[in-house]
Amino acid sequence: MTITQLKYVLAVAEYQNFTTASEHCFVTQPTLSMQIHKLEEELNVQLFNRNKKPIELTDVGVKIVAQAKTIVNESSRINDIVEQEKGFIGGQFRIGIIPTIMPSLLPLFLKSFTKKYPEVELIINEFTTAEIIQKLNDGHLDAAIAATPLHDDNIKESPIYYEPFIGLVNSNHRLSHQTSLKPEDLEVDDLLLLEDGHCFKESVLNICSSLKTPNQKKFSLQSGSFNTLIKLTKEGMGMTLLPFLHSLDLQEDDKKLIREFEKPHPAREVSIIYHKTGLKLQIINALKDEISAIIRGIIAFSNVDIISPLKLKK
């Protein structure tokens, strides 16, 4: 039995197809099939029901795959321990970032981090929170940056900062005369929201005071883009809420539409998250430290308390 054989088994279990699994393992399909067959002969069991389409695990195969995940992770930990002892921060690092954080945060730290840690090869993808949790559990991501808490026992969360919500209010809106906002000022019918599946939308709904107000709008819109919400707000079609960092990129004229909340500012917790097995912790910690330092610099030039203690449930 070898680690390579177990990796091939895990690939087939995930993709339910020998050809697809071999492509992801960068080997030929006959090579992968032969190694799995050798393992089955050694164990004297059948791991896969090859007559099913797609391929399915046998009952014993399910148990062996669960154990194989642990073995493969632990084998990776050996190299991880050696690298930590040497103080080496490098290698491939796969990170996911949710869509409402990626555009505003990534440009802030990517250049400085890659310059400071040139041996790290960052592979960055944008995923929803649900996709991130699945990929962390499957071992396809080393870490992620997301809004927390997630309430998943398999995922560890290390908060980086608390990002306030700010209002964007057109001059003809009922709240435009106010210099600041309170949560009870908000009504769902007033708000232009992100589409379902975005945790930012759920956070916004959590601070609205009247979720049951009858819908009086002449249109219904849920967008996947903050830019769309900003443009519609400027056209007088409602108001929206933005995460603070996103507001930094607004045009100067658009910044006049900003209305901050009274303290304590409603905010979301932003964390770096990773699987409880905790591989590549040296890179995770370096990434968190780099982002935290940048956020502290932004705080120094901002009137907004970006480390608000008020956390919103997702």
pLDDT at 212: 47
Mean confidence (pLDDT) of the chain? 84
- Overall pTM > 0.85: no
Mean predicted confidence (pLDDT) in 32-38: 95
Q: Which residue has the tokens 């005071």?
A: 209
DSSP code per residue over 210-223:
-TT-----S---EE
Q: Is 154 exposed, middle or buried (0-12, 13-18, 19+ CB in 10 A)?
A: exposed
Tokens of 145: 């940056």
* pLDDT-derived band at 142, boundaries 50, 70, 90: very high
Domain ranges of the chain: 3-84, 90-161+269-300, 162-261
Q: Looking at the domain that runs over 90-161+269-300, which CATH code has it been given?
A: 3.40.190.10
Mean predicted confidence (pLDDT) in 88-106: 91
Which has the minimum average pLDDT: 79-88, 118-127, 218-227, 287-296? 218-227
Radius of gyration of the chain (CA): 24
CB of 28 within 8 A of CB of 21? no
Measure the CA angle with vertex 311, ends 280 and 301; round to 5°. 80
| 134 Cβ contact partners less than 8 Å away, ≥ 6 residues apart | none
Mean predicted confidence (pLDDT) in 26-48: 95
Using DSSP bridges, classify how beta strands 143-148 and 267-275 pair: parallel, antiparallel or unpaired: antiparallel
- Is 162-261 the same fold as 3-84? no
pLDDT at 178: 87
Q: Looking at the domain that runs over 162-261, which CATH code has it been given?
A: 3.40.190.10
pLDDT at 214: 47
pLDDT at 300: 60
The full length of the chain comes to 314
- Rounded Cα–Cα distance for residues 230 and 225 (Å): 9
Classified by CATH at the fold level, domain 3-84 comes out as Arc Repressor Mutant, subunit A (1.10.10)
